[in-house]
Amino acid sequence: MQTSHRTLLAKLLALAVAMFLFAVFVLPPLYDLFCEITGIGGRTDGKYEAVEVRVDTSRQVEVQFVAANNAEMPWEFYPMEYSVVVHPGESRAVNFFAHNTTGENMVAQAIPNVLPNNAADYFHKTACFCFDNQPLAAGEQAELGLVFILDPDLPDSVNTVTLSYTLFDITDRTALSISQIQ
Amino acid sequence: MAHGPATLADGWVKYISRWVFTTNHKDIGTLYLWFSFAMFILGGSFAMIIRAELFQPGMQLIKPEFFNQMTTMHGLVMVFGAIMPAFVGLANWLIPMMIGAPDMALPRMNNLSFWILPFAFAILVATLFMEGGGPNFGWTFYAPLSTTYAPDTVNYFIFGVHIMGASSIMGSINIIATVMNMRAPGMTYMKMPMFVWTWLITAFLLVAVMPVLAGAVTMMLTDINFGTSFFDAAGGGDPVLFQHIFWFFGHPEVYIIILPAFGVVSQIIPTFSRKPLFGYSSMVYATASIAFMSFIVWAHHMFTVGMPIAGELYFMYATMLIAVPTGVKVFNWITTMYKGSLTFETPMLFSIAFVILFTFGGFTGLMLSIAAADIQYHDTYFVVAHFHYVMVAGAVFSGTAAVYYWLPKWCGKMYDETMGKVQFWIAFIGFNITFMPQHFLGLAGMPRRYADYGLQFADWNMVSSIGAFMYGAAQILFLFNVVRTITHGKPVDKPEVWEGAEGLEWTVPTPAPYHTFEKPPQVK
């Protein structure tokens, strides 16, 4: 093979490999970062450390709760209060009810989502069952707690915030947690 | 047999070994073309099953699960098995002859890149006979349909995609190396025929995005088998990420399919207009800018995922911008014909039909690019009609034109002009009867990818199916005409074959000898 072919071949193969690595290792984190910065997709941040803030009593915001099961999840899962009215800056605790209706020990994971998108960055959770996975033994019931604060900087256009949880069955991928219940 | 290829007269073993071990660009081009035609017939028969089921409302012939496998396999086989290898076949045959090179730059890799392809498709098609059936999640294989809810055979599908991706990457590297390193003395970049230019640009697109496709299916593979959560919300992933990655590959992919088709008609129209191509350099720049822009418009396929308004506006305007260089090309083709001494041989008929119907498909593309309107059109038959106007009347018509145009050069025999014209008119009319009504169906709200439909869609669906059977029949006639030409065609012996043909490939004897340009020609 001529040298000119060989160098070109090496360069093009390197380009192909680089694009593969770009797709697998760069694009997904980049996408997450993009969503995090822009709040697109209603993603909320992780655990929030409460700081001393002024409670804005002049303003009331309705927070609605939605609970849904992912396709094959058989649990009973609903918010104990469907909506609450809070002042921005005020810390509020609510509970969700979960009941493993099956005869199997299972592990669930709740994934939160906030609408409208521009509210996602201002919805802070100081405690949430969604930070951990939820093992429930067969037939077991539980009240799952959430403590949240709406940031006083919440855009003025937002009067209603909807927080939805989708509950996923992750029993298969957490064989360890199952043995911990037993 | 000191020189030249083994023929059937040398015995079966030698004849088959010739094709299996060949490193000759003409042999490999022939293999690619026959393989792609076989896949075209296979994908076409899937389409016939789809149209037969949709002939009337209600379920008649097949089960909905199988219908889903048919739509998926039709798309995959046509895109990756028929259209792409057809143009790689043309590139193999023509690029060395057009630039005055004796062969492709990397002949052994050329052999490998072809011969892994039949295995990829054997694996893919075999899934239809396995428990659980073949891939049923649409050719765009969106997660989680293709991960959480996919049949177990999805792993075969992933492996098949990996192989065909490797084949495409090797093929394109070969084309780039050939064009960049093996041009005859005096053949500067701006003297290369348009077909070579469009393929050079396409090859760069392929090297850039086929690995992204491989990455997407690899992430699917690990999500399915190794517990990662790239596209699984339960583990912190996001199914929408899949769509972004897929279309980051998928949008350049549609230009990978159409750019070589642009190249083909840019060769044929000047010949039968007996004028040089109008605006050669603007054609080159238009092709390059289309290729560049194909990387920055991908999310116009996903206007309904819930993008912020700024994103929708950006992708909408960027998409509309592609109409500018494409318009330049259409303008140049028409201007090439303007005041030319036109004759209407079969390749020219297909090329003119290409220009008209591709432009039509481009206009429906512009309609789809309007984000607000796309929310209505999304996933309806309007989209199906749009991309068949650009894929079939675009890529397939130009591929057919290319076969008729260069077939006399390849085999030294002239095809039957009457049969060619009959095929053209059946294909042209059948194509429009098939896909024109699908615009109406889509605008009326018929969703794509369903095995059944509401009664209000019955009439146009029946019309569409009748057109599809017509178009399918035209392909059988095409096969017959090509085979008949090879066996009984009238011999041609003048090198230029067509009166107005320009280019190095028309300076070699007809039929093209097994080895051409062993001594490079001098290009002035």
Q: Where are the domains of chain A?
A: 40-181
Name the pLDDT band for A39 (thresholds 50, 70, 90): low
pLDDT recorded at residue B2: 44
Residue A39, by phi and psi: left (phi above 0), alpha (psi -120 to 50) or beta?
left
Q: For residue range B184-212, what is the model confidence (pLDDT) as tens digits? A: 999 999 999 999 999 999 999 999 999 99
**Those residues with Cβ within 8 angstroms of residue B13's Cβ, 6 or more apart along the chain or in another chain:** none
Architecture of domain A40-181: Sandwich (2.60)
pLDDT recorded at residue A129: 83
Which residues on neighbouring strands pair with residue A91, listed in sequence order?
Answer: A149
Q: For residue range B217-246, what is the model confidence (pLDDT) as tens digits? A: 999 999 999 888 899 887 778 899 999 999
Q: For residue range A59-71, what is the model confidence (pLDDT) as tens digits? A: 888 999 888 888 7
For chain A, give the mean pLDDT.
Answer: 83
pLDDT recorded at residue A50: 66
Nearest-Cα distance to chain A for B209, in Å, is: 7
- Which residue type sits at B111? N
pLDDT recorded at residue A177: 46
pLDDT recorded at residue A182: 43
- Inter-chain contact B210–A16, Cβ cutoff 8 Å? yes
pLDDT recorded at residue A178: 47
Structural tokens at position B474? 């035209």
Nearest-Cα distance to chain B for A55, in Å, is: 30
Residue A116 CB burial class (10 angstroms; 0-12, 13-18, ≥19): middle
pLDDT recorded at residue A1: 65
Q: For residue range B57-104, what is the model confidence (pLDDT) as tens digits? A: 999 999 999 999 999 999 999 999 999 999 999 999 999 999 999 999
- Inter-chain contact B169–A16, Cβ cutoff 8 Å? yes
- Under 8 Å CB pairs connecting chains A and B tally to 99
Name the pLDDT band for A42 (thresholds 50, 70, 90): low
Could you report the predicted ipTM of this complex, rounded to two decimals? 0.89
pLDDT of residue B476 exceeding 50, the answer is yes
- Which residue type sits at B296? I
Q: What are phi and psi of A161, to 5 degrees?
A: -120, 135
Name the pLDDT band for A48 (thresholds 50, 70, 90): confident
pLDDT of residue A181 exceeding 50, the answer is no
pLDDT of residue A170 exceeding 90, the answer is no
Residue of B nearest to A73 (CA): B234
pLDDT recorded at residue A138: 85
Name the pLDDT band for B4 (thresholds 50, 70, 90): confident
pLDDT recorded at residue B80: 96
Q: For residue range B265-284, what is the model confidence (pLDDT) as tens digits? A: 999 999 999 999 999 999 99
The catalytic site residues of B sit at 74, 103, 139, 167-168, 251, 253, 255, 266, 300-301, 326, 329, 448
Residues of A in contact with B169 (CB under 8 A): 16
Yes or no: say if B107 and B24 are a contact pair by the CB < 8 Å rule: yes
Name the pLDDT band for A2 (thresholds 50, 70, 90): confident
pLDDT of residue A89 exceeding 80, the answer is yes
Residues of B in contact with A170 (CB under 8 A): 234-235
pLDDT recorded at residue B328: 97
Yes or no: say if A116 and A86 are a contact pair by the CB < 8 Å rule: no
Instruction: Tell whether B318 lies on the interface with A, counting CB pairs under 8 A.
Output: no
- Which residue type sits at B364? T
Nearest-Cα distance to chain A for B145, in Å, is: 12
Which residue blocks in B116-193 are alpha helix, DSSP H?
A: 117-126, 154-181
As a whole number of angstroms, the distance between CA A22 and CA A1 comes to: 30
Q: For residue range B291-306, what is the model confidence (pLDDT) as tens digits? A: 999 999 999 999 998 8
Helix (H, G, I), strand (E, B) or coil at B31: helix
- Inter-chain contact A168–B234, Cβ cutoff 8 Å? yes
pLDDT recorded at residue B451: 94
B25-183+191-225+240-506: CATH topology is Cytochrome C Oxidase; Chain A (1.20.210)
pLDDT recorded at residue B183: 95
Structural tokens at position A80? 């104990």
As a whole number of angstroms, the distance between CA B112 and CA A143 comes to: 61
- CA separation, residue B194 to residues B182, B269, B290, B499 (Å): 17, 12, 15, 19
- Inter-chain contact A170–B235, Cβ cutoff 8 Å? yes
pLDDT of residue A121 exceeding 60, the answer is yes
Instruction: Tell whether B4 lies on the interface with A, counting CB pairs under 8 A.
Output: no
- Inter-chain contact B181–A27, Cβ cutoff 8 Å? no
**Of B106, B234, B241, which is closest to A111 when you measure between CB atoms?**
B234
- Ranges A55-69, B15-29, B101-115, B241-255: which has the least confidence: A55-69
- Inter-chain contact B214–A13, Cβ cutoff 8 Å? no
Q: For residue range A9-29, what is the model confidence (pLDDT) as tens digits? A: 999 999 999 999 999 999 999
DSSP codes of every residue in A48-88 = ---------TT--EEEEEEEEE-TT---EEEESSSEEEE-T
Instruction: Tell whether B211 lies on the interface with A, counting CB pairs under 8 A.
Output: yes
**Of B181, B219, B238, which is closest to A4 when you measure between CB atoms?**
B181
In whole angstroms, what separates CA B520 from the centre of its chain?
31
**Those residues with Cβ within 8 angstroms of residue A179's Cβ, 6 or more apart along the chain or in another chain:** none
- Inter-chain contact A20–B214, Cβ cutoff 8 Å? yes
- Inter-chain contact B235–A20, Cβ cutoff 8 Å? no
For chain B, give the mean pLDDT.
Answer: 94
Residues of A in contact with B219 (CB under 8 A): 23-24, 28
Domain locations in chain B? 25-183+191-225+240-506
Residues of A in contact with B216 (CB under 8 A): 23
Taking Cα atoms as reference points, which of B102, B3, B97, B93 lies closest to residue B518?
Answer: B102
Residue B367 CB burial class (10 angstroms; 0-12, 13-18, ≥19): middle
pLDDT recorded at residue B168: 96
As a whole number of angstroms, the distance between CA A104 and CA A97 comes to: 18
Residues of A in contact with B208 (CB under 8 A): 15, 19
Residue of A nearest to B204 (CA): A12
Token pair 């022939």 is at which residue?
A: B30
Q: Tell me the residues of A at the B interface, defined by beta carbons under 8 Å apart.
A: 1-2, 4-5, 8-9, 12-13, 15-24, 27-28, 31-32, 35, 38, 40-41, 70-71, 109, 111, 117, 166, 168-170, 173
pLDDT of residue B114 exceeding 90, the answer is yes
Nearest-Cα distance to chain B for A56, in Å, is: 29
Structural tokens at position B247? 């279309």
Instruction: Tell whether B495 lies on the interface with A, counting CB pairs under 8 A.
Output: no
Residues of A in contact with B248 (CB under 8 A): 23, 27
- Ranges A3-17, A27-41, A123-137, B75-89: which has the least confidence: A27-41
Token pair 């309107």 is at which residue?
A: B373
Name the pLDDT band for B1 (thresholds 50, 70, 90): very low
Instruction: Tell whether B277 lies on the interface with A, counting CB pairs under 8 A.
Output: no
- Inter-chain contact B233–A38, Cβ cutoff 8 Å? no
pTM of the model: 0.89
Terminal CA-to-CA distance of chain A, rounded, Å? Answer: 65
- Inter-chain contact B177–A31, Cβ cutoff 8 Å? no
DSSP codes of every residue in B242-263 = HHHHHHHHHHHHHHHHHHHHHH
Taking Cα atoms as reference points, which of B456, B470, B453, B493 lies closest to residue B60?
Answer: B453
Q: For residue range B380-439, what is the model confidence (pLDDT) as tens digits? A: 999 999 999 999 999 999 999 999 999 999 999 999 999 999 999 999 999 999 999 999
- Taking residues B338-351, what's their average pLDDT? 96
- Ranges A31-35, A116-120, B167-171, B379-383: which has the least confidence: A116-120
Taking Cα atoms as reference points, which of B66, B81, B79 lies closest to residue B135?
Answer: B66
Share of chain B above pLDDT 70, in %: 99
Instruction: Tell whether B177 lies on the interface with A, counting CB pairs under 8 A.
Output: yes
Q: Is the N-terminal amide bond of B491 cis, ω within 30° of 0?
A: no
- Inter-chain contact B308–A117, Cβ cutoff 8 Å? yes
Which residues on neighbouring strands pair with residue A163, listed in sequence order?
Answer: A65, A114
- Inter-chain contact B219–A169, Cβ cutoff 8 Å? no
- Inter-chain contact B235–A109, Cβ cutoff 8 Å? yes
Yes or no: say if A163 and A123 are a contact pair by the CB < 8 Å rule: yes
Instruction: Tell whether B41 lies on the interface with A, counting CB pairs under 8 A.
Output: no
Name the pLDDT band for A175 (thresholds 50, 70, 90): low
